């Protein structure tokens, strides 16, 4: 399968061996492709269609850590995340991921981890979601439990999912409340402890590694 120039650039950036692993750009991926460790993807908030986004701008309140927002444009490179396991887990790149698994999401551009804690989010006062740490610097505040709606099959691109923060018990959440001082109409991302329709996310654009052992 041909690899797009963007897919090639991503995998050169990540230092992956393209001779041993052929990634599937999302535009060429079959519907329902399985999501594996090492995949680079965007997460789309189901109701608003905004992408989970971060960039090297700190919050002006709360933790002061790198901010996380919902971004309306599909083509922004700051909305890519790498799917990672917990540290010291006996899994490898290309392994599939089942419902109930604890994962981490690493922001591709800044190398920091999707994180949460008990600081209040800037707009709604819910749990703040930030980016924190980096390569070799991760803690339990970066742990998210994957909840897949429906049967217990491995995570696929067409499945509705929730991400439950292990330390705080808050679901990754977004809504229509937007920042007035941030360009581009970005909306708040936060954590809430109740299961709601606005907790649902879908895997969208990205470069999807095939499952281990597939051709």
Query: What CATH number did the domain enclosing 106 receive?
Result: 2.80.10.50
Please list the alpha-helical segments (H only) found in 3-162.
Answer: 5-14
* Residue with the larger pLDDT of the pair 16 and 160: 160
Task: Let me know the angle formed at the C-alpha of 63 by 57 and 106, rounded to the nearest 5 degrees.
Answer: 60
Distance CA 137, CA 101 (A): 21
User: CA-to-CA distance for 188 and 124, rounded, in angstroms?
Assistant: 8
pLDDT tens digit sequence for 117-148: 999 999 999 999 999 999 999 999 999 999 99
15-52, pLDDT tens digit by residue?
443 333 344 454 444 567 899 999 999 999 999 999 99
Q: How far apart are CA 199 and CA 171, in angstroms?
A: 6
For residue 134, being part of any structural domain is answered with: yes
Domain that includes residue 170, residue range: 5-208
How many structural domains is the chain composed of?
1
C-alpha–C-alpha distance, residues 93 and 40, integer Å: 12
Q: Is residue 194 included in any domain, yes or no? A: yes
Q: What pLDDT is attached to residue 13?
A: 47
Could you report the per-residue pLDDT of 170-205, keeping only the tens digit for each?
Answer: 999 999 999 987 667 899 999 999 999 999 999 999
Is 215 a member of any domain? no
């Amino acid at each position: 399968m041909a690899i797009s120039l963007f897919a090639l650039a991503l995998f050169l950036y990540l230092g992956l061996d393209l001779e041993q692993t052929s990634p599937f750009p999302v535009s060429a991926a079959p519907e329902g492709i399985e999501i594996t460790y090492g995949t680079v993807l965007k997460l789309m908030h189901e109701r608003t269609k905004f992408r989970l986004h971060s960039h090297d701008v700190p919050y002006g309140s709360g933790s002061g850590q790198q901010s996380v927002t919902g971004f309306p444009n599909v083509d922004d490179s700051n909305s890519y995340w790498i799917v990672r396991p917990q540290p010291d887990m006996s899994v490898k790149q290309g392994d599939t991921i089942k419902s109930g698994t604890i994962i981490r999401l690493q922001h591709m551009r800044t190398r920091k981890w999707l994180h949460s804690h008990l600081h209040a989010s800037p707009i709604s006062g819910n749990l703040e979601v930030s980016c924190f740490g980096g390569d070799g610097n991760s803690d339990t505040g970066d742990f998210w439990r994957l909840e897949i709606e429906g049967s217990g099959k491995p995570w696929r691109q067409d499945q509705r999912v929730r991400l439950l923060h292990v330390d705080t018990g808050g679901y990754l959440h977004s809504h229509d409340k937007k920042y007035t001082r941030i360009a581009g109409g970005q909306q708040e991302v936060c954590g809430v402890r109740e299961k709601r329709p606005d907790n649902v996310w879908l895997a969208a654009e990205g470069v999807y590694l095939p499952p281990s052992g597939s051709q």
